[in-house]
Amino acid sequence: MAHTVNTGTVRRVVSLVPSLTEALAATEPGLLAGATDWCSHPAQLEVTRVGGTKNPDVERIAALAPDLVLANEEENREPDLAALRAAGIEVLVTEVRTLPQAFGELDRMLTQGCGLARPAWLAQAEDAWREVRAEFDVRAVVPVWRRPWMVLGRDTFAGALLAYLGVRNVYAHHSERYPRLPLAELVEPGRADLVVLPDEPYRFAAQDGPEAFPALPAALVSGRSLTWYGPSLTEAPARLAAALRSALG
């Protein structure tokens, strides 16, 4: 475990992003003073809960007197971050849309933001992805919601991870990052070789999702492996590859 090195005034941190919460908890858990209701890892995390990623309780966060709040430009709303800054709280905002960017932002958050030594798990995650080879050569539709149907579009972290494994997102060049599209379009013959169904943000499962794509093999994958950037990246390549192999036979 990393230890504090010249932390300055950073002694209490509130995280508004589940994956960043896990990253800090795996590195220096004593710094965490608060986290969102959606911060589920580590399982026994005991900190003050401060609402959701999209509706954090600014007054409760301020009452915790954090030296730093961790946020993400996609997961958190700018008005909430502006309110925290107006309350005199420092906010570190990450931007993660590619794997190298994830590694860089995690390093910046932990070493520069929190004043910690670079953790061993981060190097292990980099090593795990450095060894990945494009085992597959398939086109995939990747829904992230239904009612209405929404899929991965351009410039997404999840799409970038799949590309490392040889899974090409059909909508990677769409004008929107998470386009809403009719199911009739998603299931058009010849559009894709595979449908990838993560269990978050929508909780796709064996009985909820694959039936909408009867002509395609369905890979049910862990949303934490596909969308989280933190310690989960160490095991993500193997877990995603296993799910893809299972679907493709």
pLDDT tens for residues 118-156?
Answer: 999 999 999 999 999 999 999 999 999 999 999 999 999
Give the H or E element holding residue 82. helix 78-86
> What was the pLDDT predicted at 9?
79
**Domain limits at 98?**
13-128
Cα dihedral 77, 79, 83, 89 sign? positive
Q: Check whether residue 73 and residue 147 sit in a common domain.
A: no
Q: What are the Cα distances from residue 5, in Å, to 2, 11, 16, 124, 170?
A: 9, 12, 24, 21, 45
Distance of CA 1 to the CA centre of its chain: 22
Q: Check whether residue 48 and residue 143 sit in a common domain.
A: no
What's the average model confidence in pLDDT over 40-59?
94
Q: Kindly report the pTM of this predicted structure.
A: 0.92
* Domain end among 128, 151, 167: 128
Q: Are 12 and 113 in contact (CB under 8 A)?
A: no
Q: Check whether residue 152 and residue 73 sit in a common domain.
A: no
In this structure, what DSSP letter does residue 49 have? E
**Do the domain assignments include residue 208?**
yes
